[in-house]
């Protein structure tokens, strides 16, 4: 098979030209003396790694995807067993040391940037999504071990050599890097998925000073791993306002649990695998139920900081799902395109029938857009984390750039926070849409197992569900946007005026069209804020005018006050994603004029979509919200009161 990197011009564009290598290399090497002599040398080495992955996934994984799907994984005597094909793939990954890709050299790693790992994940997922998921729980967990240790202050640095001197979980990191172990992220419980405040797994500190975790976690990807990050309720947590200790999100803490130890007498399990799910797709990835019963655990950070640590891990994981979904989009598009070129109907290849050509063109356009968004989210997250790390390595002394760095961190954080839910939402939804289109373009054979496209459809279906469902991403994106406007209305008015000005007066007609997308997004946001505020204001009737500003700036009840905006959150998210892609591609074409056709294609697709979505936001919703309010006894009481 062709190398999955070399055969992908869009991916090569980022690695060869568009990624900000000067900054990424500088931030990754951090002035160490064991690094590359120049940026070019570093990028050449990165390219070798990506090419190696491109070849490996094309030759060693993609040809076996159907077999992996057929064989799956199984539970035998309380342990997950990999069939031979899958075991061989992971032996190969171990051999080429791919689990070491982004770890610092002093921890036995290759010290590659995070974006390289994400590019690798995209190519893995193009070959087989379930292999990618399991692969992700190796390096992903090793990096979380390091990041969490840095955050909690248990990593020390050799400032002169600009490297890590010691870190709390060095042994576990090495075990994972060598391929001998991996980990998992244990959050979901039978009654708590999206609603994390409902989590019930508990951790208690024993008189011997050891924390012990008790509870059940379900749907845990690669839950047969050794190192589990478990989020659990702790009674000693600092309570949030109005909550009893241990309640709500402030009552959650993060733990590292070693699920087993291997000794001369065999494996001793501290956490049990109670079952492995039979799933619609992702057959080569184990999805396990894990039972903890007074299982010894190490507290990560402070009691009550669990949600904070989980968000850090989830941010990275959501970007990971963005790239994973991109891999499935790429596989679907390529399968559909190849089939459409060779399948004839009514005198010509189906690729030349207008309807099919339109589908393929939209798939290609969307892939380029999602990749632009994915790169932006990934680079932003990487720079945020590396700037924070740099601040810690340098310490307060002699850090002349501290102020500038703080501003940079805040800027990257803001941007990444805005883009990540858009990426997770769009990429996951598009993976499902594109896989379905691939089935449709294949006609009858698309529905038959041996073509492999129905597998893509089954594999894609979980992407809008895990790592925060599409609805949760949309709610996050909407609340962030609306809160920003409520907190700083003047800034919003200024930006809206600037966008209207650009929409009329920019010299480049394409820039004017992009600005019009922004104007439409502002209109949608303004409408949602106005609706939300008018509801809030009606609740303030009869209160002194002087209290209104305070009430409007704070004291929002997300469940009550945002009902109208929540109804339209997905529509707003789709608009914001279209706008974010258009802006990213506009910036690209300013540097690389040959990218202009990519922007033209996106804007042509985005314009009617955005108009339609705006119309729905402006004109629909009242009837349904009326019905919901009538069915909600609390809301009826409030109305009456
Ligand atoms: C293959 C697979 C692998 C997984 N891997 C992991 C893992 O490694 N670790 C882990 O901890 N979990 C994992 N999960 C669990 C996954 O993260 C959850 O399934 C997901 O968070 C959704 O939770 P839920 O299933 O309880 O659905 P619910 O939260 O019950 O949601 C059901 C539906 O209601 C919607 N919904 C819920 N609340 C709202 C709201 N406020 N507004 C609007 N809509 C809402 C959701 O979007 C969804 O459509 C995995 C799941 C699968 C299927």
Of 609 and 391, more confident: 609
Task: At 236, give phi and psi (nearest 5°).
Answer: -80, 5
CA distance 114 to 107: 16
For the CA of 472, the nearest atom of ligand 1: 47
Contacts of 583 (CB under 8 A, 6+ apart): 514, 518
pLDDT score of 558:
66
Q: Which CATH architecture has domain 1-181?
A: Orthogonal Bundle (1.10)
Core vs surface per residue 569-601: b (16+ CB within 10 A) or e: bbbbbbbbbbbbbbbbbbbbbeeeeebbebbeb
Tell me the CA distances in angstroms from 476 to 22, 241, 319, one per residue in order: 32, 22, 15
pLDDT score of 31:
86
pLDDT score of 536:
75
Q: Is the CB of 462 under 6 A from ligand 1?
A: yes
Statement: residue 237 has pLDDT above 60: no
Topology annotation, domain 310-468: Butyryl-CoA Dehydrogenase, subunit A; domain 3 (1.20.140)
pLDDT score of 253:
97
CA 617 to the chain's CA centroid: 26
Q: For tokens 């659990």, what's the residue?
A: 232
Q: Are 322 and 370 in contact (CB under 8 A)?
A: yes
Q: Is the CB of 565 under 6 A from ligand 1?
A: no
Query: Which of 106, 26, 141, 117 lies closest to 387, judged by CA?
Result: 26
Instruction: Decide if 342 is catalytic.
Output: no
Task: At 340, give phi and psi (nearest 5°).
Answer: -65, -30
Question: In a mutational test of the pocket of ligand 1, which residue from 138, 183, 192, 194 has the highest number of ligand atoms less than 8 Å from its CB?
Answer: 194
Of 556 and 167, more confident: 167
Average pLDDT over every residue of 336-340? 98
Q: Are 250 and 256 in contact (CB under 8 A)?
A: no
Task: At 161, give phi and psi (nearest 5°).
Answer: -85, -5
What are 81's strand-pairing partners?
74
CA 70-74-78 angle, to 5 degrees, is 175
Average pLDDT over every residue of 605-612? 98
CA atoms within 13 A on the CB side of 103: 28
pLDDT score of 492:
96
pLDDT score of 559:
67
CA distance 455 to 472: 26
Question: In a mutational test of the pocket of ligand 1, which residue from 219, 421, 566 has the highest number of ligand atoms less than 8 Å from its CB?
Answer: 219
Choose the weakest-confidence range: 242-246, 281-285, 449-453, 521-525: 242-246
For the CA of 470, the nearest atom of ligand 1: 47
Residue minimizing CA distance to atom 12 of ligand 1: 188
The pTM score is: 0.96
Task: At 166, give phi and psi (nearest 5°).
Answer: -155, 155
Of 167 and 540, more confident: 167
pLDDT score of 395:
73
The residue ranges of every structural domain in the chain are 1-181, 182-304, 310-468, 485-640
Percentage of the chain modeled with pLDDT above 90: 87
Statement: residue 503 has pLDDT above 70: yes
Look at the chain and count its residues: 641
pLDDT confidence tier of residue 300, bands split at 50, 70 and 90: very high
pLDDT score of 633:
73
Neighbours of 374 (CB within 10 A): 27
Averaged confidence pLDDT in the chain: 94
pLDDT score of 32:
86
pLDDT confidence tier of residue 637, bands split at 50, 70 and 90: low
DSSP assignment of 367-402, as one string? HHHHHHHHHHHHHHHHHHHHHHHHHHHH-STT-TTH
Statement: residue 398 has pLDDT above 70: no
Statement: residue 635 has pLDDT above 90: no
pLDDT score of 37:
94
Q: Is the CB of 469 under 6 A from ligand 1?
A: yes
Q: Is the CB of 478 under 6 A from ligand 1?
A: no
Indicate the CATH number for domain 182-304. 2.40.110.20
CA of 188 to the centre of ligand 1 (A): 8
Q: For tokens 């979380």, what's the residue?
A: 144
pLDDT score of 159:
87
Q: Is the CB of 636 under 6 A from ligand 1?
A: no
pLDDT score of 247:
65
Choose the weakest-confidence range: 281-285, 292-296, 445-449, 540-544: 540-544
pLDDT in tens, 134-152: 999 999 999 999 999 999 9
């Amino acid at each position: 098979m062709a190398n999955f990197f070399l055969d992908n011009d869009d991916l090569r564009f980022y690695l060869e030209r568009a990624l900000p290598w000067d900054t990424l290399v500088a931030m990754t090497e951090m002035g160490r003396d064991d690094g590359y002599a120049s940026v070019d040398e570093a990028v050449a080495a990165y390219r070798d790694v990506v090419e190696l992955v491109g070849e490996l996934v094309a030759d060693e994984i993609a040809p076996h995807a159907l077999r992996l799907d057929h064989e799956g994984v199984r539970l035998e005597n309380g342990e997950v067993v990999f069939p031979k094909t899958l075991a061989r793939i992971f032996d190969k990954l171990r051999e080429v040391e791919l689990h070491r890709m982004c770890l610092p050299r002093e921890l036995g790693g290759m010290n590659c940037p995070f974006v390289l790992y994400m590019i690798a994940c995209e190519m893995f997922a193009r070959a087989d999504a379930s292999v990618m998921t399991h692969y992700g729980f190796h390096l992903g967990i090793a990096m979380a071990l390091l990041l969490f240790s840095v955050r909690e202050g248990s990593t020390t640095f050799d400032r002169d050599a600009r490297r890590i001197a010691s870190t709390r979980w060095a042994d576990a990191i090495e075990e994972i890097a060598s391929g001998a172990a991996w980990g998992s992220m244990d959050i979901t419980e039978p009654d708590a998925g999206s609603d994390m405040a409902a989590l019930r797994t508990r951790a208690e500190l024993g008189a011997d000073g050891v924390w012990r975790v008790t509870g059940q976690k379900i749907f845990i990807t690669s839950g047969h791993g050794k190192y589990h990050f478990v989020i659990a309720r702790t009674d000693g947590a600092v309570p949030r306002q109005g909550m009893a200790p241990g309640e709500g999100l402030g009552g959650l803490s993060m733990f590292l649990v070693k699920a087993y130890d291997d000794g001369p007498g065999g494996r001793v399990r501290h956490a049990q695998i109670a079952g492995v799910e039979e799933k619609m797709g992702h057959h080569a990835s184990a999805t396990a139920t894990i039972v903890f019963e007074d299982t010894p655990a190490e507290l990560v950070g402070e009691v009550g900081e669990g949600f904070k640590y989980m968000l850090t891990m989830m941010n990275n994981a959501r970007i990971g799902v963005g790239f994973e979904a991109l891999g499935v989009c790429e596989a679907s598009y390529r399968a559909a395109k190849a089939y459409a070129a060779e399948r004839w109907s009514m005198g010509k290849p189906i690729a030349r029938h207008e309807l099919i050509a339109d589908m393929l063109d939209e798939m290609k356009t969307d892939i380029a857009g999602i990749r632009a968004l994915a790169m932006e989210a990934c680079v932003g997250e990487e720079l945020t984390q590396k700037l924070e790390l740099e601040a810690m390595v340098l310490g307060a002394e002699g850090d002349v750039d501290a102020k500038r760095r703080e501003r940079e961190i805040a800027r990257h954080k803001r941007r990444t926070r805005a883009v990540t839910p858009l990426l997770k939402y769009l990429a996951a939804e598009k993976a499902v849409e594109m896989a379905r289109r691939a089935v449709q373009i294949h006609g009858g054979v698309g529905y038959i197992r041996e073509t492999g496209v129905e597998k893509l459809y089954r594999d894609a279906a979980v992407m809008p569900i895990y790592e925060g469902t599409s609805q949760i991403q949309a709610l996050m994106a909407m609340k962030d946007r609306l809160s920003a406007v409520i907190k700083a209305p003047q800034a919003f008015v200024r930006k809206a005026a600037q966008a209207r000005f650009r929409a009329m007066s920019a010299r480049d007609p394409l820039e004017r069209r992009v600005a019009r997308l922004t104007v439409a997004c502002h209109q949608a946001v303004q409408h949602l804020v106005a609706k939300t505020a008018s509801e809030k204001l009606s609740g303030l009737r009869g209160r002194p005018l002087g209290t209104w500003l305070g009430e409007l700036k704070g004291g929002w009840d997300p469940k009550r006050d945002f009902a109208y905006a929540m109804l339209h959150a997905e529509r707003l998210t789709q608009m914001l994603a279209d706008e974010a892609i258009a802006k990213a591609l506009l910036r690209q074409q300013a540097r690389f004029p040959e990218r202009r056709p990519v922007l033209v294609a996106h804007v042509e697709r985005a314009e009617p979509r955005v108009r339609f979505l705006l119309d729905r936001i402006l004109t629909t919703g009242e009837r349904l919200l009326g019905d919901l309010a009538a069915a909600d006894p609390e809301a009826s009481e409030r109305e009456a009161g």
